[in-house]
Structure 1
C-alpha cells in the first residue's frame, strides 16, 4: 500500500507504491512485459502505450523513469483518453506532434488540462498493473476495458475524487 507501509496478503508483501500483490519487483516485471507488447505495435497494446506508461508512472512515482519533473503530461494523456477515448488520445498525440516541430524552439507545451493535484501519494489504487495483466500475459480480450479502469482508478486516487 502507501510508501513505506507494505501490506501482507497470504505471506506476500504488496507493492509499497501501488498496493499490487507481489511487491515492486513483480510490478517492474509486469511493466517490462507490457512494454514489450506495446513496442511490438500490435493491437490492442500498441496504441495504448502512452496511457499505460502514464498509469504505471503515476502509480509508481519513485520509478527511475518517473523522474522528478512535471507529471502534467501523464495527467493530460489520461484525461484525453478518459474524456475522448482513442479519438481523444489521437487528437492529443497529433497536437503534440505539431508542437514538437523542428521549426519550434524549446520543449513543446502540452495542452491546458487541470493540474495534477498536489497531495500525498495515495495508500493504494483500486486497479493496478497486476489487474491489467490478469495472469501476467495481458490478454487481448478485455484489455482496453482493463486499461480504462486502470486510468480511471489512477486519476481518482491521485486527485482524491472518486469519479476521476
Structure 2
C-alpha cells in the first residue's frame, strides 16, 4: 500500500484528495454534523497537506483549530466565516487577519509527515459516516495540532 507523502496516511481505496472532495461536498450541505465543522475539517486537511497552503496562509487554519479545541464548534463559526470570505474570489489577495491565539504558529519547515489521525481515519469507509463524525474530527484536530506543535516548539 502507498502512503500519502504529506500526512502519512495509507491510501486504501481513496486518496486523501478524493476524501477531501467527499467531505467538502458534505460540508457544503451545511447539515449537521458535517456543515458546522467545515472550517475545522478544511484546517486539518490543509495543515496535514501543507503543499496546498503557503506558510503565511496557515495562520487562520491554526487559529480555527486552537479555537475549536479550546472553545468548541460554535466559537469557530466567526473564524470560519472570516476565512470563507477571505478565500472568496472577490477577495483575492486579501491578507488574513492577525488575531492568532498566544501559541507558536506552524510556519516551520519541514512540515510534519506523520499524524496519529488523518483524513482516512475520519472518513472510515470513505463516506464520513455521521455517527461519531464530531468525535473523529476532534481527534483529527488534536493530532494535527500535536504534530505541528512538536516541530514548532522543538
User: Structure 2 length normalisation: TM-score?
Assistant: 0.80
Q: Which residues in structure 2 correspond to 1:4-153 (within 5 Å)?
A: 12-22=1-11, 26-63=15-52, 66-90=53-77, 92-93=79-80, 96=82, 107=95, 109-113=97-101, 114-117=103-106, 118-153=108-143
User: Using a 3 Å threshold, how does the CA distance of structure 1 residues 91 and 36 change in structure 2: closer, same or farther?
Assistant: closer
Asked if the contact 2:57–2:96 (Cα under 8 Å) also holds between the matched residues in 1, the reply is: no
> Matched residues in 2 for 1:107 and 1:18: separation?
27
Distance 1:107 1:68 in 2: 13
Change (3 A) 1:119 1:160: farther
5+ long unaligned stretches in structure 2: 87-93
Q: Deviation digits for residues 9-30 of structure 1, max 9, x if unmatched? A: xxx111010011118x700000
Task: After the TM superposition, list the runs of 4 or more consecutive aligned residues in structure 1 that deviate by more than 6 angstroms.
Answer: none
- Distance in 2 separating the partners of 1:93 and 1:16: 27
- Where does structure 1 lack aligned partners over 5 or more consecutive residues? 1-11, 101-105
3-state DSSP class of the match of 1:125?
coil
Structure 1 residues 50 and 146: alpha-carbon distance in aligned structure 2, compared to 1, 3 A threshold = same
What is the rounded CA distance, in whole Å, between the counterparts of 1:15 and 1:93 in structure 2? 27
Which structure ranks higher in relative contact order (CA pairs < 8 Å, sequence separation ≥ 6)? 2
Greater CA radius of gyration, 1 or 2?
A: 1
- Quote the Cα distance in structure 2 between the aligned partners of 1:84 and 1:57: 21
Richer in helix (by share)? 2
Q: In structure 2, the residue corresponding to 1:70 is in which secondary structure?
A: helix
Q: Aligned pairs, how many? A: 140
Root-mean-square deviation over aligned CA pairs: 2.4
